[in-house]
Amino acid sequence: MAKEGVDTRDQGKLKGKTYEKQLLKLQAQLCHLQEWVKEKGLRVIVVFEGRDAAGKGGTIKAITARVSPRVFRVVALPAPTEREKSQMYIQRYMEHFPAAGEVVIFDRSWYNRAGVEHVMGFCTKKQHRRFLELCPTIEQHIVDGGIVLIKFWLEASDKEQKRRFEARIADPVRQWKLSPMDLPARTRWYEYSRARDLMLDATDTEHAPWSIVRSDDKKRARLNTIAHLLDRIPYKKLHHEKVKLPKRSEKRAYDDVASLKGRRFVTEKY
């Protein structure tokens, strides 16, 4: 098990310019990783779990901002349909597993059963217990099948979660982030803590360990998460031939600007 990380909560918020500079460097490395994944045909799953308002969405956006969606796919499944409820629990997630040359990021995953489903009573105690028993074995099969499995748990403090929920309530452009589960999550803070502890006890294994990210400072959390992700997948920068932009061919040239005259253009308000 990895050693406990340094608690950065008393270091103050990371400055914007410092964050942007470091993020750009890490995103460049993600582009190199992307090429390596494609070249070697790697299959990678990255699971993001954590408390509500812990910063999962923003972290995922920071990872995927400058890479190809054909390589880095984000999967955020809605509530299961009646048909899906009758399937083997992990079945609906498995259909989204990566093929060669793909990184699939699960914005919440099969661990819903260990968290929200358990706390909110959407599954039985027997189903919850059975999930915790079987999950390590299933993940062993995933890893043995050649998939790189990386699991992140984002942990925000009680004070910070409260602040973020209040900001969502007050800000019209953030209110869409409030899900039906968010407000009950505030009242059931300790139930979620106990569910987290049970999950970690059962599924923090050597073959599929959890990496916990302190996320009170979103900027630090994003940088630390990306750096850890890069460390978990050994890769090399691939050599590419120098690209030279070819000249425009003048064959069959015509005034292609004048030919647009009279067409419907968007009003230039800005």
Residue 216 within any structural domain of the chain: yes
Residue 97 within any structural domain of the chain: yes
Specify whether the backbone of 52 is left (phi greater than 0), alpha (psi in -120 to 50) or beta.
beta
Residue 269 within any structural domain of the chain: no
CATH number at residue 48: 3.40.50.300
The residue range of the domain holding 224 is 23-234
Question: Residue 253 gets which letter from DSSP?
Answer: -
Residue 11 within any structural domain of the chain: no
Residue 145 within any structural domain of the chain: yes
Which pTM was predicted?
0.90
Residue 2 within any structural domain of the chain: no
DSSP strand E in 130-189: where? 147-155
Residue 263 within any structural domain of the chain: no
Instruction: Return per-residue pLDDT of the chain as tens, 270 residues.
Output: 445 555 555 567 788 999 999 999 999 999 999 999 999 999 999 999 999 999 999 999 999 999 999 999 999 999 999 999 999 999 999 999 999 999 999 999 999 999 999 999 999 999 999 999 999 999 999 999 999 999 999 999 999 999 998 888 888 877 777 777 777 888 999 999 999 999 999 999 999 999 999 999 999 999 999 999 999 999 999 998 899 999 999 999 999 999 999 999 999 999
Residue 32 within any structural domain of the chain: yes
How far, CA to CA in Å, does 23 sit from each of 19, 64, 222, 223, 225? 6, 12, 8, 6, 11
What is the tally of structural domains in the chain? 1
